[in-house]
Structure 1
Amino acid sequence: MTYGKTLLLILFSTFSIGAFSQQNTSSISGNVKDGNELIIGASIFLKGTKQGVVSDHQGNYQLKNLSAGTYTVSISYIGFEKDSKQVVLKANQQLILNFSLKKDQQQLHDVNISGKTKTQQVKESGFSVNAIETKKYANTTADLNQILNRSTGVRIREQGGLGSDFKFSINGLSGKQVKFFIDGIPMDVMGSAMSLNNIPVNMAERLEVYKGVVPVQLGADAMGGAVNVITNQKASNYLDLSHSYGSFQTNRSSLTGQFVEQKTGLIIKGSGFFNSSENNYKMKNVDLVVGGTRVGNHITDVDGAEYVKGDAKRFHDNYLSALGQVEVGLTNKSWADVLFIGGGYNEGHQDLQTGFDQNTVYGKVRRTNFAKSATLRYKKNNLFTEGLTLSAFAARSKDTYKTTDTVFRNYNWDGSYYDKGYTEMGNSIKTINNIVRPRTYAMGNLSYVINNQHSLNLNYTIDHLKNENYNQLQVGRDSLPGTVNKQIIGFAYQQNLLDNKLSNTIFGKYYHLGLARAKYINGRYVKQDTTFSNFGYGIASRYKITEGLGVKASYEHSYRLQEAEELFGDGLNLQGNPDLKPESSHNLNLGAYYSFQINKSAFFFEASGFYRNAKDFIFPVPDVRSKLLKNENQSSVRITGFESEARYSYAQLLSLSLNLTYQSAVNTTKNGQTESYNVEGTYLNKIPNQPWLFGNADFTIGQDNLLGKDTRLQFNWFTQYVNWFYLTWESKGNPNGKSDIPTQFIHNASLSYSLQKGKYNISAECRNLTDHLAYDNFKLQKPGRSFSVKFRYFIQ
C-alpha cells in the first residue's frame, strides 16, 4: 500500500471539493461561548426558515449563501437559556455575530443532559476515543485509574494497593507507549507523584482516551494512545474539598479551588491531594517459614526450617504521597486571553514489600521521591487576524528519586529473616541510590480557522531531560550521566464538508531524538551519542449517515521515542538498557456508532476493530538471576482485536453501560531475528502477561429529592471481568504446569447521599465485595475486600 499516494489523492479531492463550495454571497458566522468556554454542538438557525447549523469542535458556526435582508438568528443548547438576535444583512456581507449563553438551572435539573454533551461530541469525532464525564463518580473514593479501568479497550494492572506501580494498556499497547496529559500538558512534567493512581476523581471534569491515533495538538510520541485529563476551565469561583477513610488505614484527601476577580480578570487557582495507606492487606496461600533457630524474627540457624503455605499480612508496604500547586493569572486582556504562572511541589514515601513478583519479599527497602516545578501558560485567540489562535506552555521541573537498600537480609512473608551475603535487592554493597532528573519542556500550538469548513494546526514540542544516577554511600559518587532531547513537530489540516456530515483530519509528524549516555566498556565509562529522526503521518475521518449514526476510521504511522526510565533504569525493579531503539507502529481503527433518544431514554452503541503492527517493540523481560526487569526490543509484534460498548440512560434516574474487549497480541519475530533467548521459539505466540479478553458492567441509579428537597440518593454497582491468560510464553514449559493468571470477576458497590444541591456529600463504598482472590501484573496479589467512607464539600 502506497500511503503517500493515497494521502495526496485525498488532499487533491478534498481541496477540489472545498474550492467548488466557495461562493461570494452573504453569510453570518461567529462563535458560541459559556463565559470563556466554547460550546460545541449548539443549534443556530434563522427564524422563519429551514436553514440552520450546529457549532463545530471549536465553538464556531457559519450560516452561508444568504440573501440581503433582515434575519432573526436564534440559538439553543441543552442546559442553557435560548437566545436570539435580529440583524440586517447587506449584499455580499460576511457578518460576525457571537453569542454568550447563560445556564438554565431548571433545565439542567429536569432534562437528560447525556445527549450532545462535549463527551458525546468527542466520541463522534474521527478519532477512536473514549470520553468519560466524571460527574457521577465525584462522590466516590475512586482515583482516575479506577475510573479509566471501566472504559472500553483499557486495562490497568496494578502491582498492589495504594501507590503501587501500574501498567496502563490501550488496545494491547501499554507502558511508555501510552502518554498521559492534564489539559494537554504531559503529566510527568508536574512530578512523579502526579500519576493517575494518585489523582482523585474530583480534580477532573472529563477524561479523553485516544486509541492508537493521537491528535497533533498533544505534541506527543504516543504510539499506543494517550489519556488527556480535562479539568474545570470555567472562569468562576468554586471550592471542592473531600476526605475519605478506608480499610488498611487508607486516607485520601483532596482540594481544588479557584478565585476570580471579575473586574480585573485576576484568577487564582490551587489544587492538592494527600494520600496514605499501610496497605496491610492479607496475602493468601504464600510461603511461610516454620522451624529453625530464632531470636525474635531473626532466623539464626536455618537447620530444620521449612516452607509451608499459609496467609500473612503485608508488613512493609506503607505509602504516602502529597501534592500542592498554585497558578495565578489574568484572562480576557487585549494582549492575552489566558496568562498564568504557576508552581508546584510533590513528594512520595513508599516502603517496598516485593520485587516484580511476590516470591521476592522485602522488609527494609524504601523509596522516596520529590519534585518541584514552575510553569507558564499563554493563550491568545484571534491573534493578528480572525481565527488565528496561539497557545504556549513552558515548564522547568526537577525530579529526585532515592532507593534505600542497606541490609544484608532475606525476608519471608511472616516477617522473619535470615542473614545473607548481599542486600535484599541483590547488591554486593549497601546502596542509597539517587536518580536526579532536571527537565525543560516547552510546547507551542498555532491553529487557524480558515472558515467553517477548513482549519489548520501546527504544533512544536521540545523536551530536554538530564539523568544522573549515583550511590551516595560510595566514595566519589560514581555517576552515570545521560541526556535525552526530544523534538516533535506536528501539522494537521481539518475539513468539515457536506454540511458537517464528513470530517477529515490529515496530519504529519516529525520526530527527532538526541541521546547522550555513558556505557561501561572494558572497565570504564565511554560517552556515546546517537540521534534518530523520522516522519509519521495519518488521517482520521468520520461520516454522519444520520444525526445519530456514523462511521469513522483512523490510521497513523507513528514512532515512540525511548524514555529516560527505559534507558537508564528506575533504581528499583527496572535496570536500564541504553541500547534500546525507538519503536514504530502502523495503527488502524475502523468503527461505527449509533445514538438516539426516545423521550427521556438515551441510547448509545459503538463497535470498532483495531490493528497494530509494531516494529522494535519495547517489552519488559524478567531476569531471574538479578530479580529485575529489563526492557528489550522485539523485532515485530502484531495486535488485532475488536471492542464494543452499549450505554443506556433514563433522565437523571439511571444509567447502564456494558463493554467488552478482545485483543490478540502475538510475537511475529521469527527465530534468528533477535538475540533475546526469551523470543527464540515463540513465533506467533501471544505476548505473555497480557489479558486478551476483558469487559465491564457499570450500573447507576439515583433519585433527586427522595429524602428531602435538593437532595440526591445514588447507588452504583460495577463489575469487572478478566479472562485467564498465560503469565509466560505459551509454547514454553510443560503443558500441564504452565503458569497462568486465572479468570476473575471483581464486584464493587457504592452508595452516596447529597444535600443542598450537592454542597454536602457522603458516600460509602465496598470494593471486591466477594473477597475474590485478585491478581494483576506478574501474578501479584491485589487487596481483598475493602470498605471506605468519603465526605465531600462543594460550592460554586
Structure 2
Amino acid sequence: MFNGKNLLLILLSVITFSAFAQNQSTISGYVKDGTEIIAGASVLVKGTQNGATTNSQGYFELKNLKAGSYTLVVSYLGYVRESKTVTIQANDNQKLDFKLRRNQEQLNDVAVQGKTKTQEIKESGFAVNAIDTKKFANTTADLNQILNRSTGIRIREQGGLGSDFKFSINGLSGKQVKFFIDGIPMDVMGSAMSLNNIPVNLADRLEVYKGVVPVQLGADAMGGAVNVVTNQKAKNYLDVSHSYGSFNTNRSSLSGQYVDQKTGIIVKGSGFFNASDNNYTMKGVDVINGGTRIGNYIVDLNGAEFATADVKRFHDHYKSVLGQVEVGITNKSWADVLFIGGGYNETNQDLQTGFDQNIVYGEVTRASKAVSGTLRYKKNDLFTKGLNLSAFFARSRDKYKTTDTVQRNYNWDGTYFDKGYSEMGGIKAVAHIIRPRTYGMANLSYVINDQHSLNLNYTLDRLKNENYNELLTDHDDMPGRLNKQIVGIAYQQDLLDKHLVNTFFGKLYHLGLDRPKYINNVYTQMDTTFSNYGYGAATRYKITRDLGVKASYEHAYRLQEAEEMFGDGLNLQGNPDLKPESSDNINLGAFYTLTVGKSTFFVEASGFYRNAKDFIFPVPDERSKLLKNRNQSSVRITGFETEVRYSYDQLLSLNLNLTYQNAINTTKNGSTESYNVEGTYLNKIPNQPWLFGNADFSIGKNNLLGKDTRLQFNWFTQYVNWFYLTWEGKGNPNGKSDIPTQLIHNASLSYSLQNGRYNISAECRNLTDELAFDNFRLQKPGRSFSVKLRYFIQ
C-alpha cells in the first residue's frame, strides 16, 4: 500500500537527488605553453582546497561544483602563474583553457626546486631516458654523440663524419631500434636525416624508450625507440651555427620560426650542411713494399711484401645537406595545428673500406637524394570534450647510386694492382636503388576523466624497392614491396592521487611482402604475409614524491626492413628469406631524487631481460666479403644499468652511468650456412660490447666575465671493456678475436654573451689520442679539435 512512510522515503530521495544533482557541474580544460601541453601543472580553486593536476595530455577536470563563480589559479614551475574567473550554473559543464608564459627569473632554478620535463619522463612507467639537449647546444656534437653518453646506449660508428653506425639499446641494435623526430619515423624524411647528421641545435629533448615502446609512436620497435623532440613553441626564434675542425670538417645548422600574431600563420624552417675529408691517420695498417711500380700502380707483385705503417685515409670525403620548410596555422576552432611542409636532402660519399678495414676501396662512391612532402594536423576536443586527434601523412622518394667501375685492389698507402673483378667483388656496376614511400599515422586519444584515458594508433607504411645496374639495364623488372600496418591501443590509469600509474596496451602487426628470389635457378617473385599480436604493460608507483619503482613488459615483433630484404647496395646483401623477429622484454627499476639546499641528487637503477626469437643480425659472408643478415633462432640478453646525477645550482653537474649486458646464443642446433653457429651454444653474441660506462662533468659560472655572460667547461669520458669480435668458442685465423678495452676523453670550453645570444666554443675529442676501435674493429678518428660559433635569438 502507498502509505505515509513510502511518501516520506520518496520525498527524501527526491531531496537527496536534487542536492546531488546541483553538485554535478564541472570545469575542465587544457594547460599549454603555446601549442605544447604542460603535464603536471597545478589547478586550484582559489580560497578552497579543491584542485587537480593536469595529466599527460595537459588535461584537468574539477567535478561536483555548485553553481556560482570560481577563480582558478594555474601554476607550474618555471612559468608565470595565471588565474581566470568563471561562472557556472547548476549541471553546467564549462571549458576553460590556460596558456602559460615562461618566467625567465625562475628558469635558472628549475633544476633545483622542481621536476623538469625530462625528469617527469624518466619517472614514467616506461624504461626511458630523457635528455635535455640545451646544455649541449654550444658544442659541435651531433645527436649520436649526445646519445652515446646515455645509460644503456652504445653507438658504434664505422669511421668519421657520415659513416654508417650501429645503435644499440640494452643489447638490441640495428633495425631493432627505431628513430623518430616529433613522433614521425626519421627515415621517412630521407637518408640524410640520421642521428649522426642532425646537429644538437635542432633538438629540444631526446627520449629513449628501452625495449617497451608506447603505442603512440606506432612502431614495430623490438629493441626500443629514440624520439627527437624539436622546438614546438609558437614564438619567433632563430638559431644559426657553424663549426670547423680537424680533417677539414665543416658543420653548419639553421633553424628558425616566424609567427604572425594577427593571422596565426607560422613559417618554420630548418637545415644543416656537413662536410669532411675524414683524412685521419690509420695506425699500424698493412701496406705493400717493393714490387714494380708506375706511380701508385703496382705492375708486378714479384718481390713485394707486406709491412705495417701509419697512413692517412685517402678516399673518405663526405658531404650532406638538408633543408625543410613548414607553413601552417595554430589555435583555430577547427585545428589546433595544421602544417604542410616539404624537404630535400642529399649526400655524396667516398667509400674507404668495406665492413672490415682490410678491405680497402679507392674509387667506390655513393650518392643519395631524397624529396618529401608532409601534412600534419592536430585537434583537441574533437566533436566532444577530451577526444584528441593527431595525424601525419608523408610521401617521399629516396634515390641511391653506388658507383663501382674499376677492377683494382687498393692498399692503405694508395697503391693498387689489377684484379679480375670490381673493388666490391663483383662485376662493374653503377647500381641504383629507388624507394618511393607512403607513410600515414593517426593517433586518437580520449580522456575519460583525470584517472582514466584511452589511446588508439594506426600506422600505414608502404615502400617500393627498385634495384638495377645501369650498365646492364635502365629499370628493375621485379621490384620488391613492403606493406606494413600497425594498430595499437592503450589504456592508462592514474590512481592513488597519481602515485600509481598503469598503462596496458596491445598491438597488431601486419606485413605484406613481395620480393624476388632465385628458386631452382629461376628468378621468381614471392608473395608473403605475416600477422601477429603483441601486448604489454607499464607501471610506476611513487612511494614518496621523490622515490618510486617501475616495471614494464612487452611481447613485441619487429618486421623486416627494406635494406635487410633487398640490400643496401654497399656492404649489405639482401636476404629474401628473413623472417620477422620477436622478443619478450622486461624492465624493472627504481629511482630516487634528493634535494638539499641548492644540491640535487638523482639515482636510478634498473635490470632488463630480453628473450629474442628469430633474432636478426649481420654476419660476414665469406664468399662475397659482404655482410648478410640472418635469423638466429634464439638470443637471451640480461643485464643491469645504473645512473647517478648530481647538480649544484647552475654551477656544476656530474653524471656517472654504467651498463652491463650479457647477450648469449641460446640456440642449441646450429645452422649449416657458411657462417654457422655450431658449437656456439651459450656463447656471447660476437661484435657486441658487454660492459661500458660514461662520466660527464661540467662546471660553469654566470656573469664571471661580465654581465649576462656564462663561461662553461665540460669533460666527458667513455669506457668500453674489451669484447669478442667473433664467436668466443671459435678461433680467428688473424689472431684478432677481440676488440681491446678503450678509454676515451673529450673536453670543451664555451663562452656565451648577452644571455646566450652570441656563443663560441672550442672542443677536443680523444684528448689522449688513444687508438679507438668500433664496429668489426674499424679504426675511429684520433685526436681532433674544433671551434663553433652560434647565434641564438628569441
TM-score by length of 2: 0.95
SS of corresponding position for 1:176: helix
Equivalence for 2:149: 150
Does the CA-based 8 Å contact 1:567-1:577 persist in structure 2? yes
Equivalence for 1:233: 232
Which of 588, 591, 597 is 1:590 aligned to?
588
CA distance in 2, matches of 1:70, 1:327: 43
1:415-426 pair list within 5 angstroms: 415-426=414-425
1:438 Cα deviation from its structure 2 partner: 0.6
After superposing the two structures, state which structure 1 stretch, 90-99 or 196-205, moved more.
90-99
Equivalence for 1:365: 364
1:48 Cα deviation from its structure 2 partner: 4.4
Which of 566, 569, 573 is 1:568 aligned to?
566
Equivalence for 2:460: 462
Equivalence for 2:510: 512
Amino acid at match of 2:725: L
Task: Rate the CA distance shift 1:549–1:89 in 2: closer, same or farther, 3 A.
Answer: farther
Equivalence for 2:9: none
CA distance in 1, matches of 2:70, 2:763: 55
Deviations 1:316-337 (A, max 9, x none): 0000000011111111111111
Deviations 1:628-687 (A, max 9, x none): 000000110000011111111112111111111000000000125775652111001110
Amino acid at match of 1:663: Q
Equivalence for 2:542: 544
CA distance in 1, matches of 2:292, 2:511: 57
Are 1:176 and 2:175 matched, yes or no? Answer: yes
Does the CA-based 8 Å contact 2:726-2:732 persist in structure 1? no
Are 1:381 and 2:387 matched, yes or no? Answer: no
Equivalence for 2:406: 407
Amino acid at match of 1:521: I
Gaps of 5+ in 1: 1-21
Task: Rate the CA distance shift 1:475–1:178 in 2: closer, same or farther, 3 A.
Answer: closer
Which of 654, 657, 663 is 1:656 aligned to?
654
Deviations 1:160-180 (A, max 9, x none): 000000000000000000000
1:453 Cα deviation from its structure 2 partner: 0.7
Amino acid at match of 1:219: G
After superposing the two structures, state which structure 1 stretch, 109-118 or 306-315, moved more.
109-118
Equivalence for 1:795: 793
CA distance in 2, matches of 1:110, 1:669: 53
Task: Rate the CA distance shift 1:498–1:514 in 2: closer, same or farther, 3 A.
Answer: same
Deviations 1:440-488 (A, max 9, x none): 1111111111111111111111111000110001146564511000000
Does the CA-based 8 Å contact 2:112-2:599 persist in structure 1? no
Amino acid at match of 1:394: F
Deviations 1:599-644 (A, max 9, x none): 2212211111110000000010101221100000011000001111
CA distance in 2, matches of 1:488, 1:24: 43
Does the CA-based 8 Å contact 2:620-2:675 persist in structure 1? no
SS of corresponding position for 2:336: strand
Task: Rate the CA distance shift 1:445–1:513 in 2: closer, same or farther, 3 A.
Answer: same
Equivalence for 2:434: 436
Amino acid at match of 2:591: Y
Equivalence for 1:492: 490
Equivalence for 1:351: 350
Are 1:273 and 2:250 matched, yes or no? Answer: no
Deviations 1:246-280 (A, max 9, x none): 00000000010111111111111111100000000
Does the CA-based 8 Å contact 2:257-2:268 persist in structure 1? yes
Amino acid at match of 1:605: V
Equivalence for 1:9: none
CA distance in 2, matches of 1:47, 1:24: 18
After superposing the two structures, state which structure 1 stretch, 622-631 or 761-770, moved more.
622-631
CA distance in 2, matches of 1:502, 1:92: 31
Task: Rate the CA distance shift 1:386–1:466 in 2: closer, same or farther, 3 A.
Answer: same
CA distance in 1, matches of 2:697, 2:487: 42
1:192 Cα deviation from its structure 2 partner: 0.4
Does the CA-based 8 Å contact 1:177-1:560 persist in structure 2? yes
Equivalence for 1:744: 742
CA distance in 1, matches of 2:454, 2:201: 34
CA distance in 2, matches of 1:736, 1:252: 38
Does the CA-based 8 Å contact 2:244-2:251 persist in structure 1? yes
Are 1:291 and 2:283 matched, yes or no? Answer: no
CA distance in 2, matches of 1:386, 1:653: 45
After superposing the two structures, state which structure 1 stretch, 123-132 or 43-52, moved more.
43-52
Does the CA-based 8 Å contact 1:250-1:278 persist in structure 2? yes
Task: Rate the CA distance shift 1:23–1:60 in 2: closer, same or farther, 3 A.
Answer: farther
Task: Rate the CA distance shift 1:91–1:439 in 2: closer, same or farther, 3 A.
Answer: same
Task: Rate the CA distance shift 1:542–1:109 in 2: closer, same or farther, 3 A.
Answer: closer
CA distance in 1, matches of 2:265, 2:68: 42
Equivalence for 1:620: 618
Task: Rate the CA distance shift 1:65–1:413 in 2: closer, same or farther, 3 A.
Answer: same
Equivalence for 2:447: 449
SS of corresponding position for 2:392: strand
Structure of greater Rg: 2
1:38 Cα deviation from its structure 2 partner: 1.4
Amino acid at match of 2:617: F
1:57 Cα deviation from its structure 2 partner: 1.2
Which of 602, 607, 610 is 1:609 aligned to?
607
Amino acid at match of 1:561: L
After superposing the two structures, state which structure 1 stretch, 701-710 or 591-600, moved more.
591-600
CA distance in 2, matches of 1:458, 1:248: 49
Amino acid at match of 1:190: M
Does the CA-based 8 Å contact 2:28-2:59 persist in structure 1? yes
Equivalence for 2:14: none
Does the CA-based 8 Å contact 2:510-2:531 persist in structure 1? yes
Amino acid at match of 1:361: V
Number of paired residues?
774
Does the CA-based 8 Å contact 1:470-1:480 persist in structure 2? no
Task: Rate the CA distance shift 1:426–1:677 in 2: closer, same or farther, 3 A.
Answer: closer
CA distance in 2, matches of 1:672, 1:577: 19
Deviations 1:16-39 (A, max 9, x none): xxxxxx997555433212222211
1:63 Cα deviation from its structure 2 partner: 3.9
Does the CA-based 8 Å contact 2:134-2:204 persist in structure 1? yes
1:140 Cα deviation from its structure 2 partner: 0.3
Deviations 1:749-773 (A, max 9, x none): 0011111111110000000001011
Does the CA-based 8 Å contact 1:219-1:460 persist in structure 2? yes
Equivalence for 1:785: 783
1:51 Cα deviation from its structure 2 partner: 4.5
1:748 Cα deviation from its structure 2 partner: 0.5
Does the CA-based 8 Å contact 1:330-1:338 persist in structure 2? yes
CA distance in 1, matches of 2:679, 2:476: 40
CA distance in 2, matches of 1:783, 1:540: 41
Gaps of 5+ in 2: 1-20
Are 1:709 and 2:716 matched, yes or no? Answer: no
After superposing the two structures, state which structure 1 stretch, 593-602 or 83-92, moved more.
83-92
1:252-267 pair list within 5 angstroms: 252-267=251-266
CA distance in 2, matches of 1:619, 1:501: 40
1:99 Cα deviation from its structure 2 partner: 2.2
CA distance in 2, matches of 1:737, 1:107: 59
CA distance in 2, matches of 1:53, 1:505: 21
Deviations 1:85-134 (A, max 9, x none): 45556666554433222222222245546831111111111110000000
1:18-29 pair list within 5 angstroms: 25=24, 27-29=26-28
CA distance in 2, matches of 1:611, 1:588: 5
1:745-784 pair list within 5 angstroms: 745-784=743-782
CA distance in 2, matches of 1:36, 1:113: 26
CA distance in 2, matches of 1:446, 1:457: 6
1:684-695 pair list within 5 angstroms: 684-695=682-693
Are 1:331 and 2:330 matched, yes or no? Answer: yes
1:46 Cα deviation from its structure 2 partner: 3.8
Does the CA-based 8 Å contact 1:112-1:650 persist in structure 2? no
After superposing the two structures, state which structure 1 stretch, 53-62 or 247-256, moved more.
53-62
Does the CA-based 8 Å contact 1:41-1:56 persist in structure 2? yes
Equivalence for 1:3: none
Equivalence for 2:159: 160
1:85-124 pair list within 5 angstroms: 85-87=84-86, 94-109=93-108, 112=111, 115-124=114-123
CA distance in 2, matches of 1:139, 1:664: 36
